[in-house]
């Protein structure tokens, strides 16, 4: 009986023939990965030797800093500028148009309810009107974002998604170069005894955590007075909703809390990786912080210019009061006549 169900030798040979190419493909793929990493390793080491770096400067550390700045300028800054332009297009074109169409949408929703002969108490009709109004505004907002090509999800997702492959790739290459034997073992930089071993004093990992945290918290440093007033109004509105028993979800606070935890986690991870990788992470985080400051200052100047143009285009209050004071006697005399 057992011999009947035993696998035949021909079936075993077929399986072996079928499985051998898969094993070979896996080995070839791993070899190609190692070869590509070795090519990048040799290219980086040759670049460090070929650059006209002063003899008193650490050649490999200086090359890491230069390559970090150049890759950020080439791959992340253009997408950040693209994202900022989409954000401005949404703020200056799509949202003002949506705000101007708000009364028209409310009137159309009310006419639809009258056409449907909706019945109920005053509070029920107001609730239905408010719900339909939100749905109509959300649909119109989606149409306007598509028309002006400024979808917020794409605007927020593209910059980190384009930065992530460069960040991971550079970290993997530097970690591969730090494996023995390597010339990184003969160079020190700041608190790093070598570029191969982790920072023994944990100074650079702690600096990395503080830089990441500063990048998270610096968004409030360049806020205008209008933004602060708007934030106070939004906070009061949220407190009123919470007092009524409604649930309020604040995505910005959730994201900030998660980024604060990431800044602490980066300290722990950076204290265990090679010094070359820590140096790359600190340089990249410092570049990101400076970029955030420049973009926030650019945004602050733009909003001040828009506020100045808005105040210049509108007539002053004194002129309005004088014009109304002059026009009121004329209107009264016409009425008397």
CA-angle at 307, arms to 233 and 142, nearest 5°: 65
Residue 7 in tokens: 């696998």
- CA count, 13 A, side-chain hemisphere, 2: 0
- From the list 223, 190, 184, the residue with the least C-alpha distance to 204 is 190
Q: How many CB atoms lie within 10 A of CB 158?
A: 15
The answer to whether 171 touches 277, Cβ cutoff 8 Å, is yes
Structure tokens at 231: 């934030």
Q: Identify whether the C-beta of residue 184 lies closer than 8 Å to the C-beta of residue 194.
A: yes
pLDDT recorded at residue 32: 56
Q: What is the pLDDT of residues 195-247, one digit of tens each?
A: 888 888 889 999 998 998 888 877 666 666 666 666 666 667 666 666 766 66
Residue-wise pLDDT tens digits, 98-137? 888 888 888 888 888 888 777 777 787 788 888 888 888 8
Q: What CA–CA distance (Å, rounded) separates 56 from 71?
A: 25
ω into residue 181 within 30 of 0, thus cis?
Answer: yes
Position of tokens 């898969």?
22
Confidence of residue 92 (pLDDT cuts 50, 70, 90): confident
Least confident stretch, 28-32, 89-93, 101-105, 161-165: 28-32
Q: What are residue 179's phi and psi, to 5 degrees?
A: -80, 145
- Per residue in 264-292, pLDDT (tens digit) is 888 999 888 998 899 999 999 999 999 88
Beta pairing partners, 192: 189
Q: Confidence class of residue 38 from pLDDT cuts 50, 70 and 90?
A: confident
> Helix (H, G, I), strand (E, B), or coil: what is residue 19?
helix
Q: Give the dihedral sign, CA 221/226/232/238.
A: negative
What is the rounded CA–CA span in Å between residue 317 and residue 194? 68
pLDDT of residue 133: 85
328 is written with which tokens? Answer: 């009121």
Confidence at 317, pLDDT banded by 50, 70, 90: very low
pLDDT the model gives residue 255? 75
Of 243, 273, 291, 327, residue with least CA distance to 78: 291
Model confidence, pTM: 0.71
Range in 23-37, 50-64, 183-197 the model is least confident about: 23-37
Dist. CA 184–CA 198, nearest whole Å: 12
**Is the confidence at residue 25, as pLDDT, over 80?**
no
């Amino acid at each position: 009986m057992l011999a009947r169900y035993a696998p035949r030798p021909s079936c075993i040979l077929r399986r072996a023939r079928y499985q051998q190419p898969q094993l070979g493909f896996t080995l070839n793929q791993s070899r190609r990965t190692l070869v590509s990493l070795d090519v990048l390793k040799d290219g980086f080491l040759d670049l460090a030797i070929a650059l006209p770096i002063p003899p008193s400067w650490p050649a490999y550390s200086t090359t890491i800093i230069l390559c970090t700045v150049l890759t950020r300028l080439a791959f992340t800054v253009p997408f950040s500028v693209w994202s900022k332009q989409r954000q401005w297009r949404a703020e200056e074109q799509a949202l003002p148009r949506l705000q101007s169409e708000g009364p028209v949408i409310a009137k159309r929703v009310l006419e639809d309810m009258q056409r449907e002969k909706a019945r109920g108490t005053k509070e029920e009709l107001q609730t239905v009107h408010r719900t339909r109004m939100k749905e109509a505004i959300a649909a119109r907002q989606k149409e306007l974002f598509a028309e002006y090509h400024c979808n917020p999800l794409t605007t927020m997702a593209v910059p980190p998604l384009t930065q992530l492959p460069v960040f991971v790739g550079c970290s993997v290459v530097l970690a591969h170069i730090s494996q023995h034997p390597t010339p990184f073992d003969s160079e020190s930089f700041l608190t790093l005894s070598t570029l191969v071993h982790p920072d023994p004093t944990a100074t650079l990992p702690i600096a990395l955590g503080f830089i990441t945290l500063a990048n998270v918290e610096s968004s409030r440093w360049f806020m205008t007075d209008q933004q602060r007033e708007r934030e106070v109004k939004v906070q009061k509105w949220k407190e009123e909703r919470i007092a009524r028993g409604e649930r309020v979800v604040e995505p910005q606070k959730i994201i900030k809390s998660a980024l604060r935890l990431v800044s602490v986690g980066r300290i722990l991870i950076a204290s265990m990786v090679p010094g070359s990788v820590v140096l790359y992470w600190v340089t990249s985080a410092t570049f990101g912080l400076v970029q955030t400051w420049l973009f926030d200052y650019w945004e602050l100047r733009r909003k001040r210019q828009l506020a100045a143009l808005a105040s210049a285009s509108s007539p002053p209050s004194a002129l309005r009061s004088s014009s109304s004071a002059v026009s009121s006697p004329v209107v009264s005399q016409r009425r008397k006549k």
